[in-house]
Amino acid sequence: MKEKLEALKVEALAKLQEVMDPQVLNDLRVKYLGKKGELTEVLRGMGGLSAEERPVIGQVANQVRGAIEEIIGAKQEAFQQQETQQRLQAEKVDVTLPGRRMQQGGIHPLSRVVQEIEDIFIGMGYRVAEGPEVETDYYNFEALNLPKNHPARDMQDSFYLTDDLLMRTQTSPVQIRTMQAMNGEVPVKIICPGKVFRRDDDDATHSFQFHQIEGLVIGSNIRMSDLKGTLQQFVQEMFGPNTDIRLRPSFFPFTEPSVEVDVSCFKCGGDGCRLCKQSGWLEILGAGMVHPNVLKMGGYDPAKYSGFAFGMGVERIAMLKYGIDDIRHFYNNDMSFVKQFKGV
């Protein structure tokens, strides 16, 4: 039996040494070491051995098993290393390739226009004031000389959340809140940027949500000429030094007198073109002297103080400044549109 075991060892080691395939290696493992393998078959004959021979043959059998398992383990490790190397070779990353550069973002044209307008008025001594977008009926209408059932309310078709709360239709409530917070002190010089909401059908020039910037000045002996000079300075810095303004009589419940403000067309210089519809003028904002009732609501004596206010749509300014023909471009998340303003 000892000779059979030695012969089995020589045969197994010779065949295992030549193995070049993991599957063949596994088949040989089963052939020699499996439950029905050749080593097991030899050991089944140990029952006919004497008590003195069994330990000797058992020791030889363990040596044979150990030698076979050792070469099988070495081969398995070699195959695993080979597989790992092949996988690393197939999946390797070439670190010499240039990196993928992140795209640089840009400021949205509406944000850019708001910043530009704020910079202009801050340079004239104004400060920026903000207020809530969900507003009370009192601040949005009543304190601005628009009592309940006033026909001018219909022009704004508001989004009401309750009988007394609505999405603000203008940033004018910030003016009243600021006036009341000042407790009658002067001067007041603020601009109020922010989103406003009105029940408009979306089209090329209207949106249910848009942006406004309003301004308010209150002090002693504030006159209409101060308003005109302020707006003249603004449009020249915004649209160019040769831009002029034109005031046309209008009506707003919170100002008296009230005006619509036009600027000379900065594209054609006032000669008439497609942008200004051959008129030479572009309408950009509304303004006027603060109504005495609004001054009272804000805590100011109209016999002692006066003021002016103005309001402009940011989208309107941006559309004119950049030649945009549809307000919906601002909100459609179209990257091809936004990227045009990256370097502006």
Q: Which residues are annotated as a binding site?
A: 256
Residue ranges of the binding site for Mg(2+): 256
Query: Closest Cα partner for 285 from 321, 246, 324, 323?
Result: 246
Helix 109-123 with 224-239: angle, nearest 10 deg: 130
Handedness of CA 251, 326, 238, 119 (dihedral sign): positive
What letters, b where the CB count within 10 A reaches 16 and e where it falls short, cover 271-295? eeeebbeeebbbebbbbbbbbbbbb
Give how far Cα 333 sits from Cα of 103, 107, 142, 207, 338, Å: 16, 13, 37, 15, 8
Name residues whose C-beta falls within 8 Å of residue 229's C-beta, 6 or more positions apart in sequence.
Answer: none
Return the structure tokens found at 157: 């078709």
How big is the chain, counted in residues?
344
Task: Give the chain's radius of gyration (CA, Å).
Answer: 44
Q: What is the dihedral of CA 149, 152, 156, 159, to 10 degrees?
A: -10
Q: How far is CA 215 from the centre of its chain?
A: 29
